[in-house]
A and B are shown apart, each in its own frame.
Chain A
């Protein structure tokens, strides 16, 4: 499996994706800056709180990297089928299920790392600019990390699991558009789900349910759709 992951990483293009991650985080920082600047300078508005801004960071990072995970799924998995290169890959002396699993592991790990780095950079930026320009209501307290860290861990875990859905739906008809659209639907669905909770985060039970359903569906697709070339 490790050997297959190494091989698939050659096609993945690590440098290209690291550049994308940092570009996306920069975009997130820019977005937060504009939002904070607007609420700070507009007398009709009150300053944003740390709590609300941190929620926005979570939303932004999960939106960007879930959509991007669908692009990676399309590129690394579905296009192998639509471009016919899967006939070459499946003619190699490798376990086909492990080959596709290796691709998904790369996508999931990339999504998890990117969202984590995104959280770290954006939250760090938040604390830094507030210290310099007092852009937010209140001041940063270390105790805030008691809620921030679990929230970030939950978001990273959920998004990592949800990054499988573009694969699940996209593989039904080996369709790239279906994979991309699925990621958008998943984001909206998640938002509807967590808005019912007081914490705006998934509970542990919800996380467990989402993971069970997702892995069950992925297993079904592995059995039924991965071996089908057309």
Chain B
């Protein structure tokens, strides 16, 4: 049987930069965030994953004090986030929901305004972040003439402009093309490794989070189902044999006859066998001899996606 990994407290060796405790929020009697306890270690890239409507953005808004929690608290840099603690946001960069800008201002004007509000005097940094996000040739254009992908890049540029110690990124690669996604992923990794920026990134693209995060939090229906270092997931990743057949009931019976019991039937076509030492050659021969149509057979390994579905669907 596979080992179940649950919320683990105190497993992170690094000091915690941001934590929430007992965070709760409801809308019209409907609880959207329920008793969420998040621990983001200093220097980590924390992947906050969950399906659409799971409560990711609501949690992120509460971290930034854009929404007031009904219960619980958020601590940033060891300080409780309240209406009076706004000074800590000098050390935070963020993208929440959509990339909002003053549409009639140019990209540079928007970034200059950001510097002014953040109290960040180094305007030369604007050129750097425009370069980093590939917008150096579009800085004089009004935002209303930007595509959504360009706005997303500019939102990233703005978030990193004041050299924040903590970056909160809500679905930052939405609307980016594959090349843009790769560029931004590399940018986030560079900021984390070279500048030590702690990143809290939400996404529903699990493969993307798998590539970048070193800590994972999984949320569903407002409940944090698991929080653990990504190595913990990788450690328990199982190799399995994936079978695609035309009759899973018949194939399952055959597997039992062969003494293979550690398998699961996923749907009408797919079976996963978790016995690693079984020979594919013997298996395919047995299936064909018993008149079972074999579409495909191959060795696979669990991904974050598999772990996610095991946790959220109880598979």
Contact = CB atoms under 8 A, between A and B. Distances in A.
Interface of A: 7, 10-11, 83-85, 87-96, 227, 229
Interface in B80-99: 83, 86-90, 92, 94, 96-98
Contacts of B61: 87, 229
Contact of B89 (A7, A83, A93): A93
A88 B92 CA distance: 12
B128 interface: no
B143 to A, nearest CB: 11
B117 A11 contact: no
A90 B83 CA distance: 10
Contacts of B83: 96, 227
A83 B113 contact: no
A95 B113 CA distance: 16
B116 A7 contact: yes
Interface residues of B, number: 27
Given A7-B116, A92-B117, A94-B117, A84 B67 contact: no
Given A7-B113, A10-B113, A85-B101, A91 B90 contact: no
B86 A93 contact: yes
A7 B96 contact: no
B314 interface: no
Contacts of A93: 86-90, 117-119
Contacts of A87: 61, 66, 96-97, 100
6 contacts: A83-B103, A87-B100, A91-B64, A96-B86, A229-B66, A229-B67
A94 B67 contact: no
Contacts of A88: 100-101, 114
B204 interface: no
Contacts of B96: 87, 91
Contacts of B68: 227
Interface in B197-212: none
A126 to B, nearest CB: 39
B102 interface: yes
A90 B66 contact: yes
A88 B118 CA distance: 11
A83 B100 CA distance: 7
A227 B83 CA distance: 9
A7 B117 contact: yes
A1 B65 CA distance: 21
Given A7-B113, A93-B87, 18 more contacts: A7-B117, A11-B113, A84-B97, A84-B98, A87-B61, A87-B97, A87-B100, A88-B100, A91-B64, A91-B92, A91-B96, A92-B86, A92-B89, A92-B117, A94-B117, A95-B86, A227-B68, A229-B66
B102 A11 contact: yes
A90 B102 CA distance: 15
Contacts of A7: 113, 116-117
Contacts of A92: 86, 89, 117-118
A89 B117 contact: yes
A103 to B, nearest CB: 13
Contacts of B90: 93
Question: Could you say which of B67, B92, B100, B118 has the most chain A C-beta atoms within 10 Å of its C-beta?
Answer: B100
A180 to B, nearest CB: 20
Nearest to B67: A229
Contacts of A94: 86, 117
Nearest to B91: A93
A194 B65 CA distance: 45
Contacts of B102: 11, 85
A212 B268 CA distance: 73
Contacts of B86: 92-96
Nearest to A92: B117
B96 to A, nearest CB: 5
B198 to A, nearest CB: 16
Interface string B108-127: 00000110111100000000
A213 to B, nearest CB: 26
A97 to B, nearest CB: 8
Nearest to B27: A230
Given A96-B83, A96-B86, A84 B100 contact: yes
B46 to A, nearest CB: 18
Contacts of A85: 100-102
Interface in B158-179: none
Nearest to B159: A91
A91 B88 contact: no
A84 B151 CA distance: 14
Nearest to A83: B100
A93 B165 CA distance: 14
Contacts of B88: 93
Nearest to B155: A88
Contacts of A11: 102, 113
